[in-house]
Amino acid sequence: MAALSHREGAGDPPAPSRVLTRREVWLRQQRRRAALIAASSMTAVLLAVVLIVPRTPGWPTVKKTFFNGARFRQDFPDLLGYLWTDVKLFLTCVPFILIWGVALAMMRNIRNPALFPLRAFAAAYTDLFRGIPVILTIYLVGFGIPALGLKGEFHLLWFGGRWNSAYLWGPVALILAYSAYVAEVFRSGIEGIHESQRAGARSLGLTQTQTMRHVVLPQAARRVVPPLMNDMLSLQKDVALLSLLGVYELFRRAQVIKDRTFNYTPYVVAAVIFLILTIPETRLVDWYSARHRRRTGGSQVA
Amino acid sequence: MNGATPKVEIRNLRKSFGTKAHRRTVLHDICLDIGEHEVVCLIGASGSGKSTMLRCINMLEPVDDGEIWLHGTGGAVDLAEPGLDPDPIRRRIGMVFQSYNLFPHMSVLRNITLAPMKVLGRSAGDAKATAMHLLQRLGLADKADAYPDQLSGGQQQRVAIVRALAMQPELMLLDEITAALDPVLVGEVLNVVREMRNDGMTMVLATHEMGFAREIADLVCFLQDGVILESAPPAQLFTEPQHAETRDFLARVIASGRL
Ligand SMILES: Nc1ncnc2c1ncn2[C@@H]1O[C@H](COP(=O)(O)OP(=O)(O)O)[C@@H](O)[C@H]1O
Ligand SMILES: [Mg+2]
């Protein structure tokens, strides 16, 4: 805990070369033992997989159709090029989701009775889109709206095309769905700040706006970053669902190659590419969350 | 209270909570005068309405009925007046809570200077000088750059008092400010209250520390179920309480070893 480490830090400065205390020796032994156990159990599991899986009856076929080395080398650079489409779609959605999500959260916070309809709308909206599987929203919006027979063309950032394009309504579907999640994250972030913080600020004579700006929002912002990052991570992967509307991105490309070669290796390649993108992001979220917990004084049990 | 010009006059204050169907009155017909430079202690079992009364005086709770006159250089205002802007009133009244309510994302110094800068429009240098002076007096100068979670409960509570004092309030409301502290830390916080009294601060404090109330108060009010059952100078209230309920309460407090 912060208080403890603070006290230790303020205490005796470590001598440059001092003999280890008994406790330090013991801790070092414990750490060495833990590492040894982890390494040996890991090896045992890997050995079991390597020894057992190749003995299953279907393995030769699976190996040829899913883990084909030649196909892997050929498809990897091809598919990597299509990742950029996913990233572009993702980056286009994010600002709209954040802005619309904050707007919805603010609407739900409205206390003024005259503006009740806005509040009710925001509540209904978030209930609706949080309650529908993303894939259904994508189908309904992505096929439903173009079916209205819209004519003409649109231009938006780096995407442009016809008004009935999947490249327009696909991202719109993701924005509609994810803004509902994000609105809930923001709302619970604001409401999660204890009433006593508001009372403390108001008792000093700070106005409602000053209290929001200097006391509530800075604390809420720290709390919402980890769940927000998690939502963005899901969004990153859910972009692949737009392939169902015909958006030609990484997963769609993998399907096309599979259809042409009757080999499933491109799916494995696509999975690997997604992992290359998302694993660092996941680590970043974990690192930030852990730092956040330390900063906010949450205790950690070893 | 005798003779001193009143700082606060509470007249027939009534406060209830709940919906129309389930209304509970938690303060009945409260009348109380708080003289300038006086210390008034509110005692009573938990749930008797001490916090609610303090929160009403600081306009953190709207009242149902009655008057709360706050006297000052600019004349008197009725804090119970519906529609009165609370912000100019609250900057004149300091409040310290049981749970400190420090802002965890700000350093001690920033906690103290925020309101003087944002509310009173003081310059950063000016606000800092005042804050450092107060911290120095309470022996906390070396904690100016620390964050609240790096301080002990007693230190946090003293910082909360400094934060309120930095606004140079005319009146301080202290709500069981030692109730959440380890017994060994209570003393350091009570010392600060003693000092405030010596400086002539007008104070209303809700407290369970009967020994302290006896020592510091000019007037002690015993609340039960939202009624001030008895109010008297401590020498009188603690030695010859008039009501059986007051005697019972004090007996229970003595039994729990807090007198
Ligand atoms: N915000 C609130 N809503 C409803 N009831 C409340 C609220 N605050 C306090 N009360 C009730 O008012 C009564 C007095 O509470 P309080 O003033 O906190 O007492 P004390 O500070 O003496 O312990 C209690 O019965 C409590 O349950
Ligand atoms: Mg209370």
Count Cα atoms within 13 angstroms, Cβ side, for A145. Answer: 18
- If interface means Cβ-Cβ distance under 8 Å, which residues of chain B face chain A? 55, 58, 60, 86-88, 90-95, 97, 99, 101-105, 114-115, 118-119, 146-147, 149-152, 163-164, 167
**Best interface-test mutation with A: which of B56, B57, B100, B101 has the largest number of A CBs within 10 A?**
B101
Residue that is written with structure tokens 């004149």 in the block: B92
Is A296 at the interface with chain B, CB within 8 A? yes
Nearest to B150 among A6, A203, A207 (CB): A6
B8-100+173-255 maps to CATH 3.10.450.50: no
- Give the pLDDT of residue A301: 42
- Can you list the residues of chain A whose pLDDT is less than 50? 1-12, 298-302
* Cα dihedral sign, B241-B243-B244-B246: negative
- Give the pLDDT of residue A300: 39
Q: Give yes or no for residue B224 CB within 6 A of ligand 1.
A: no
Q: Are B34 and B202 in contact (CB under 8 A)?
A: yes
- Give the pLDDT of residue B259: 59
Q: In Å, what is the CA distance from B89 to each residue of A110, A201, B70, B206?
A: 25, 14, 9, 21
- Give the pLDDT of residue A298: 45
How far apart, in whole angstroms, are the C-alpha atoms of residue A267 and residue A95? Answer: 30
How far apart, in whole angstroms, are the C-alpha atoms of residue A94 and residue A171? Answer: 10
Give the closest-approach CA distance of B51 to chain A in angstroms: 13
Tell me how many residue pairs between chain A and chain B have CB atoms under 8 A apart. Answer: 71
Residue that is written with structure tokens 């990484």 in the block: A250
B51, B225, B227: which to mutate for ligand 1, most atoms within 8 A of CB? B51
Orientation of helix A69-108 relative to helix A250-261, angle to 10°: 150
How far apart, in whole angstroms, are the C-alpha atoms of residue B37 and residue B60? Answer: 23
- Give the pLDDT of residue A159: 66
How far apart, in whole angstroms, are the C-alpha atoms of residue B232 and residue A92? Answer: 71
How far apart, in whole angstroms, are the C-alpha atoms of residue B251 and residue B75? Answer: 43
Burial of A60 (0-12, 13-18, 19+ CB in 10 A): exposed
The per-residue pLDDT for range B68-118, each reduced to its tens digit, is 999 998 789 999 998 899 999 999 999 999 998 999 999 999 999 999 999
Q: Give yes or no for residue B128 CB within 6 A of ligand 1.
A: no
- Can you tell me which atom of ligand 1 is nearest the CA of B206? 21
To the nearest whole percent, how much of chain B has pLDDT over 70?
97
Q: Do A206 and B115 lie within an 8 Å CB cutoff?
A: yes
- Give the pLDDT of residue A158: 66
**Best interface-test mutation with A: which of B55, B85, B149 has the largest number of A CBs within 10 A?**
B149
- Give the pLDDT of residue B140: 93
Round the average pLDDT of chain B to a whole number and report it.
Answer: 92
Q: In Å, what is the CA distance from B92 to each residue of B70, B119, B126?
A: 10, 11, 19
Q: Which sequence spans correspond to the domains of chain B?
A: 8-100+173-255
Give the model's confidence band at B258: pLDDT under 50 very low, under 70 low, under 90 confident, else very high: low
The per-residue pLDDT for range B143-192, each reduced to its tens digit, is 999 999 999 999 999 999 999 999 999 999 999 999 988 888 899 999 99
Is A234 at the interface with chain B, CB within 8 A? no
Question: Residue ranges of the alpha helices (H) in A194-264?
Answer: 195-203, 208-210, 217-238, 250-261
Q: What's the CA dihedral at A209, A213, A215, A218 to 10 degrees?
A: 160
Report the b/e string of A198-231 with b at 16+ CB within 10 A.
bbbbbbbbbbeebbbebbbeebbebbbbbbbbbb
